[in-house]
Amino acid sequence: MENTEEESNNSGVKSSDQVSDTKNHSDPNQEEDPSVDSSSQILVLLTPPKPFNMHTREVDNNDDFVVQNDGLHIQHDCLAALEEELDCLRSQYAEEVSLRRELQFELAQMCEEIKELKKLIML
């Protein structure tokens, strides 16, 4: 009688069916995956990565890549976006500089024309 009570406690779940308290609540019979480094949580491949075409950036979906945890590999997309924005700002600046030079040239011409008109009026 006592055995049936022990087996049926914890809302009707047998003690042999209970999951042990682990970090990731995975199968207690399963060992830790040796391909995952628990200290830095980076995938460590047992085989070297396959090369891919850098020009088209076509990558097989099954390929895994090993990256060194330098803290910057995640930020490359952000850096590329900032560089693109910087290029746009540089081109806008170049346009504004050329417009300013044109306006300064027109202003100098108008000043000369005004001086000539004053001379004609004085005569």
Residue 45: which residues within 8 A CB-CB, separation 6 or more?
Answer: 35, 64, 66
Yes or no: say if 60 and 52 are a contact pair by the CB < 8 Å rule: yes
Asked if residue 59 has pLDDT above 90, the reply is no
Q: Domain containing 67: what range?
A: 25-122
In-domain check, residue 77? yes
pTM attached to this predicted model: 0.37
- Is residue 16 in a domain? no
What pLDDT does residue 110 have? 97
18 belongs to a structural domain = no
User: Given this model, what pLDDT does residue 33 score?
Assistant: 56
Band of residue 109 on the pLDDT scale cut at 50, 70, 90: very high
53 belongs to a structural domain: yes
pLDDT at 18 over 50: no
**Model confidence at 113: pLDDT above 50:** yes
Residue 48 is assigned to a structural domain of this protein: yes
Report yes or no on 112 lying in a domain.
yes
Domain count, the chain: 1
Cα–Cα nearest to 65, from 49, 46, 42? 49
**6 in a structural domain:** no
**Is 9 part of any domain?**
no
What's the confidence (pLDDT) of residue 14? 46
Residue 19: pLDDT band with limits 50, 70, 90: very low
